Amino acid sequence: MMRTFTRRVCRLEQILAPKRQHRIVVRYEGFASGKFPEPTPEEMEGNSVLTIRLVAAKDGRPVDPEDAAR
């Protein structure tokens, strides 16, 4: 009975599933980007990818890598 139900649901999903919509995927890089979830390759495929690069800042300006090392 479960197999029949599963097969019928799969058929309905193929027929009634909504078309995939174009989306904008946000991806974070750089300093502290580990706090944000990474999009999967499937999410990025066929969609626009917006990459936000995070940098360390001091007084509202980006910090030079040499200054950050000190």
Q: What is the pLDDT of residue 5?
A: 93
Which tokens hold the place of 53? 């690069």
Q: What does pTM read for this prediction?
A: 0.52
Report the C-alpha gap between 20 and 8 in whole angstroms: 22
The full set of domain ranges for the chain reads 19-61
For 13-58, the pLDDT digits (tens) are: 888 767 778 889 999 988 777 888 899 998 888 889 999 988 777 7
Burial class of residue 47 in the structure, from the number of CB atoms within 10 Å of its CB (0-12 exposed, 13-18 middle, 19+ buried):
middle
